[in-house]
A = this chain, B = another copy of it.
Amino acid sequence: MKPKAAVVGLGFVGRAHVEALRRLGVIICGGLGSSPGSTAVACGALGLAPAYASLEEIASDASVDVVHLCTPNFLHFQQTSQLLRAGKHVLCEKPLTLDSRESELLVSLAKDTQRVGAVAYNLRYYPLCQEARALIEKGAIGRPILVHGSFLQDWLLYESDWNWRLDPKLGGSLRVVSDIGTHWLDLVTWVTGCKVAELCADLATVIPMRQRPRGRVETFQKTDPGNAEPVAITTDDYASVLFRLEGDVRGVMTVSQVSAGRKARLWFEIDGSEGSLAWNSEEPNTLWIGRRNAPSQELPKDPELMSEATRRYAAYPGGHPEGYPDTFVQLFRDFYGYLEAGDWQEPRSFPTFATGHEQMVLCEAIERSAQERAWISLGGE
């Protein structure tokens, strides 16, 4: 029988989850917002019914198989724990927790409760990111030697910009690294199949004082400067991280939320011994394949031109662009397909709690490296 879902957190990304579940025909039992009032408004706007009154209500609703957590970071650990214990599978937004102790506990708890956890590193599910991974696996660019790129945004450029992520109690002690840096790191380590072995990071809080509005602010929304109070900022606006992957792959990542004109541009380039791959999330329907002794190539998101194993991630023909909302559909299809199959011994193609934990470990290494101004080994991870 098809698993049924509930969605907790109905802001910008919660709505993306709702839409994607519907496209797949997954039944959504209901939603839960940050307060009874906001729950009612959001469920009404989304046509979701009935609305839940509390997480407990969801936990005890026997018709719910899977809970999607689209809540602020600081809630993830407690909510996930509660739901796993209540027998629910959990698909949690990234970052999975506030620290690696919590994420390790969730990995264990999921194992103990025999529930399946996933983390929404959805960018993997751009069809051409799947293809990039397949191309590297089949040796299309030889051995990876260098990985570099960035994830740049501008929505926190001004000191009047505010969001709950700026508050370390709600978002964690890292911000740009945990919010978008882990997307980048997850993506390139997954695409290359190589984990981070050591790293050296530089972090900066470019805007040390911001104006916090007295009301609630939606992610990516601008605030009213009139009704605000100054707050000292400790989280990172910018980070660059030198790293070495297993297999002596070298690399560097730059992330920023203060780069004017870059709305949400994740870019990576992977240079191999026989060719290169480059991709950019703002123009996701083309994968550049660099060649030395031949013209470079533009691979379109065209199922006819993609690998046997990856073309199913392209839902529409070539020339019909797919985008951000489509990545959730593909991620959820993998996840729900796994749940329906029901064999927890099968390898998991989607990002799991182990993935989420791995990213928390990286975040802590980055934070420590920046504090100590030194290379940090991820030895043994």
- A residues lining the B interface (CB < 8 Å): 2, 12, 16, 19, 22-25, 46-48, 141, 145-146, 148, 150, 152-155, 157-158, 200, 202, 204, 206, 219-220, 222, 238, 240, 242, 244, 248, 250-252, 254, 256, 258-265, 269, 271-276, 281-285, 288-300, 302, 304-305, 315-326, 373-375
A292 neighbours in B (Cβ, 8 Å): 154-155, 157-158, 260-261
**Given A250-B202, A320-B323, A373-B375, A261–B289 Cβ distance below 8 Å?**
yes
Q: How far is the CA of A304 from the CA of B283 in the complex (A)?
A: 19
Residue in contact with A260 in the complex, picked from B220, B263, B274, CB distance below 8 Å: B274
Not counting A263-B320, A316-B325, A323-B323, a sample of 17 additional A-B residue pairs whose C-beta atoms are within 8 angstroms of each other reads: A25-B48, A145-B238, A146-B259, A148-B240, A153-B319, A155-B292, A238-B250, A260-B290, A263-B302, A281-B319, A281-B321, A282-B319, A283-B285, A296-B298, A321-B324, A373-B374, A373-B375
A75→B158 CA distance, assembly (Å): 51
Tell me which of B262, B264, B265, B274 contacts A317 (CB under 8 A). B264
Inter-chain contact B317/A325, CB cutoff 8 Å: no
Question: With A250-B202, A292-B157, A304-B222 given, is the CB distance from A263 to B19 under 8 Å?
Answer: no
Give the residue name and chain of the B residue nearest to A375 (CB).
B373
Query: When chains A and B are docked, how far (Å) is the Cα of A276 from the Cα of B22?
Result: 39
- Chain copies in complex: 4
User: Are A291 and B22 in contact (CB-based, < 8 A)?
Assistant: no
Check B321 against A284 for contact (C-beta < 8 Å).
Answer: yes
Question: In whole Å, how far is A143's beta carbon from the nearest beta carbon of chain B?
Answer: 10
Residues of B within 8 A of A272 (CB): 260
Contacts of A318 in B (CB 8 A): 220, 263-264
Report if A269-B259 is in contact (Cβ < 8 Å); known contacts: A148-B240, A200-B200, A375-B373: yes
Query: In whole angstroms, how far apart are the Cα atoms of A290 and B154 in the complex?
Result: 10
Q: How many angstroms between the C-alpha atoms of A214 and B55 in the bound complex?
A: 57
User: Which chain B residue lies CB-closest to A154?
Assistant: B292
Residues of B within 8 A of A294 (CB): 297, 305
Q: Which residue of B lies closest to A278 (CB)?
A: B261
Subset of 28 A-B contacts with CB under 8 Å: A16-B316, A146-B256, A153-B319, A157-B292, A158-B292, A200-B202, A200-B242, A202-B242, A204-B248, A220-B318, A240-B252, A256-B271, A259-B276, A260-B296, A261-B292, A261-B296, A263-B319, A264-B319, A282-B285, A282-B300, A283-B285, A283-B321, A293-B304, A294-B297, A295-B297, A295-B299, A297-B297, A316-B325
Interface pair A296/B296, CB less than 8 Å apart: no
In contact, B261 and A290 (Cβ under 8 angstroms): yes
**Cα distance A82–B275 in the bound complex, in angstroms:** 45
> Chain B contacts of A285 at CB under 8 A?
282-283, 323
* CB-CB under 8 A for A206 and B317, given A240-B242, A252-B254, A302-B263: no
State the CA gap A19–B242 with chains docked (Å). 41
Nearest CB in chain B to that of A21: its residue: B22
Residues on B with C-beta less than 8 A from A305 are: 293-295
